[in-house]
A and B are shown apart, each in its own frame.
Chain A
Amino acid sequence: MNWKPHTFALAGLAMISTPITAQAKIYVSIEQAQKILFPNQPLTKAPIVITDDLQDKLRAASSIRHPFQGERIWKTANGGWLIVDEVVGKHEMITYAVGISPNGSIAGIEILEYVESYGYEVAEAQWRKQFTGKTAKDPIKLNQDIQNIGGATLSCKHLTDGVKRVSVLYELALKEK
C-alpha cells in the first residue's frame, strides 16, 4: 500500500479550497451494453407503443412516475430482450439496460450513465430537465473520467424500482411477442 494523504486529511480538517462537485459518470454505450448482456447475439430494434393503460399499469407496479419510453427495446432471434430505461430520482438520474433471457429471467443489469444531482441547489426540476429525453445519439457531455469517489454507501433502491418496471413491461407487453 502506498498512501499519500494531503496534510489536511491527516489533520482531520475538511478544508476544501476548490470543492469538486460530484458529477455524471458515463460507463457504457447502448451498443456496449448489448454486447455485454447478449454477447455474439445480433439484436433487432423492436420498439413498442406504450398505451395509456399500459403506462398506468407500469406506474402502479413500480411507483415510478415519469413515463416509460417504448422506443429503446431490442430483441434477439431466440426470444431474449434488451430494454433501456431511466430512473429519475430526487437525487440521481440513472440510465440502465436490462437483459431478459428467453425464459423470462433477468440476464443482467448494466448501468449506462449515472448522473448525481445531489445537493439542494441542483436538485431542481429545471436542472434535471436538461437530461430527460436524451437518447443514445445525444450523450450527456460531462466529465467522462471515472473518479474514485469514496463515501457512505449509495443505495440502489430507485434502480430496483426501475428494474421492477421493466420486468412488468416484459410480463404485460413483450412475453407473448
Chain B
Amino acid sequence: MKARCQPLLGTFVEIAIEQENCQNAMDQAYEAIQQVQDLMSFHDSLSELNQINQNAHLHPIEIHPWTAQIFKMAQDIYQHSNGLFNCGIGHRLVEAGLLPRQLDLSQYPLGGIQDIHFLGSSVIYATKPVCLDLGGIAKGFAVDKAVEVLMQNGTLSGCVNAGGDLRVFGHTPRVIQIRHPKSPGKLIDIGTLQNGAIATSALYFANRDRKHSHIVNPLALDTNDIHVNFEESYSIVANECVYADALTKVLALSKRQDHPCFDYFNAQAITIAA
C-alpha cells in the first residue's frame, strides 16, 4: 500500500493505492484534483466559476467540459431534491464570512443553478445574476475524477479521500470509519465498502472553530433559517462521490432517511446521533 497526501480543495486529499511503482498515476490523479480546484474554486478570483458568477448573466460563456458536467449533475440533484440542493448560495456564505467577497451583487435578485441554461454542450448563459458556490459538490466530483485517472492508468484498487469525502475502488472491500459527531477524535467503524463512495456533513469542526454553519438552506424564507445548525452527522453512501457529497446536504436539511431522491441516485443515508 502506498499513500500520499496533499493540501487541495481547502482540505487534505489522501490517495492510497495497493500497487508499488505508481507515482505517475498518483501524480496525474493529483493533477486532476488541482484542475478541479483551478476551475471551481470560489476563493480563487481567476477561477472559471468566478468568471461565470461575474459574466454568465451578461453573455454566453464557453466553459470547460468538467464544469459543464458538474453543472448538469447539480441541476439533476436540484430537480430531484425539489430545490433542497442548490449551488446558488455563494452569497449566503460570503455574508457569513465563510467565503471571500469576489463581487458585489447585493443590488440584484440572485438566481440559482436552475437559472443556468446550456446553449450546446459547454456554452452556458444565466437568466439571472448568480453567485454559485460548488463547495457542496466539487470535492466529491474531484474524488471521482481522481479515481477515473487512477483506473485509466492501470491502478486496480485504492481509495481517494478528500478530507472525509471518499471513494474506494477495486476488488478489496475496505473498512470505513466515520467520526463520532460528539467527539470527532473517536471513530466509529460503520461497515465495509467496495466500489463505492461515502461523504459526510457535520458541524463539529465548524463549531470547534466557532464558525457559522456552512449548511445553508436554499429554500429558507426567514433570515434566521438560512444557516442550519445540528449536532448529528449525516452520511451518504453512493456509487460515485459526487452524489454522496451533494446528497449529504439533502439529508442534513430534510432529516429524512427515505428522501425519494436517495433511491433515484442509488444512495443510502446514515445518520449518527450525537
Seen from chain A, the residues whose Cβ lies within 8 Å of a Cβ on chain B are: 1-6, 9-10, 12-14, 16, 19-22, 25, 27-28, 35-36, 39, 91, 96, 108-111, 114, 116, 118-119, 122, 145-157, 159-160, 163
A73–B20 alpha-carbon span in the complex (Å):
27
B168–A148 CB distance below 8 A: yes
Q: Looking at the complex, which of B7-15, B71-79, B83-91 is the stretch in contact with chain A?
A: B7-15
> What's the Cα separation between A114 and B161 when bound, in Å?
14
- Contact yes or no, A14 B188, CB < 8 A: yes
Within the complex, the shortest CB–CB distance from A120 to chain B, in Å, comes to 9
Beyond known contacts A22-B186, A146-B14: 5 more, CB 8 A cutoff:
A14-B181, A19-B186, A19-B188, A27-B5, A154-B11
| Contact status of A151 and B179, CB under 8 A, knowing A1-B239, A156-B10 | yes
The answer to whether B187 and A152 touch across the interface, beta carbons within 8 angstroms, is: no
A40 CB, nearest partner CB in chain B, Å: 11
CB proximity of B208 to chain A, nearest CB, Å: 7
CB distance from A32 to the nearest CB of B (A): 9
Binds A, one of B46-54, B55-63, B113-121, B191-199: B191-199
* CB neighbours of A91 from chain B (8 A): 208
Least CB distance from B6 to A in Å reads: 6
Q: Across the interface, which residues of A come within 8 angstroms of B7, CB to CB?
A: 96, 109, 111, 156, 159-160, 163
User: A9-B270, A20-B186, A150-B165 are contacts. A155–B205 as well, Cβ < 8 Å?
Assistant: yes
Q: Would A16 and B161 count as touching, CB distance under 8 A?
A: no
Please pick, from A13, A148, A157, the residue contacting B166 in the complex, using a CB distance under 8 A: A148
Question: Interface-forming stretch among B101-109, B123-131, B169-177?
Answer: B169-177
Of the residues B163, B178, B186, contact of A154 by C-beta under 8 Å:
B163
Closest to A111 in B: B5
Contact check, B193 vs A3: say whether CB atoms are below 8 A apart.
Answer: yes
Which residues B219-237 have CB closer than 8 A to chain A? 233, 235, 237
**Distance between Cα atoms of A117 and B41 in the complex (Å):** 29
B67 in the interface (beta carbon within 8 A) = no
Q: B176–A153 contact, CB under 8 A? A: no
Tell me the bound Cα distance from A157 to B203 in angstroms.
17
Q: CB-CB < 8 A to B193: which residues of A?
A: 1-4, 148
Q: Is the CB of A153 within 8 A of B189?
A: no
Asked whether, in the complex, the Cβ of A152 is within 8 Å of the Cβ of B203, the reply is yes
Given A1-B237, A159-B7, A148 contacting B273 (CB threshold 8 A): no
The answer to whether residues A22 and B185 also contact, given A4-B192, A150-B176, A152-B201 and a CB cut-off of 8 A, is yes
Indicate with 1 or 0, residue by residue over B1-28, a CB within 8 angstroms of chain A CB atoms: 1011111001110101000000100010
Q: How far is the CB of B23 from chain A (nearest CB, A)?
A: 7
Contact, CB under 8 Å: A5 / B190 = yes
- Contact call B11/A153, Cβ cutoff below 8 A: yes
* Contacting pair A36 B196 (CB below 8 A): no
Option from B182, B186, B270 in Cβ contact (under 8 Å) with A21: B186
Instruction: Specify the chain B residue showing the minimal Cβ separation from A96.
Output: B7
Sort A-B residue pairs by CB-CB distance and give the 10 closest, nearest first. A119-B185, A151-B179, A1-B196, A5-B191, A118-B185, A111-B5, A2-B194, A151-B164, A152-B202, A156-B7
Q: Inside 8 A of A149's CB, which chain B residues have their CB? A: 161, 164, 177-179, 187
Contact B12 A9 (CB under 8 A): no
Looking across the interface, which residue of chain A has its beta carbon closest to that of B205?
A152
CB-CB under 8 A for A151 and B185, given A1-B196, A3-B237, A12-B272: no
Give, as a whole number of angstroms, the nearest-CB distance from A175 to chain B.
Answer: 23
Q: Is the CB of A146 within 8 A of B1?
A: yes
B11 touches A22 (CB 8 A): no
Knowing A14-B272, A109-B7 are in contact, say whether A152-B184 is a contact too (CB < 8 A). Answer: yes
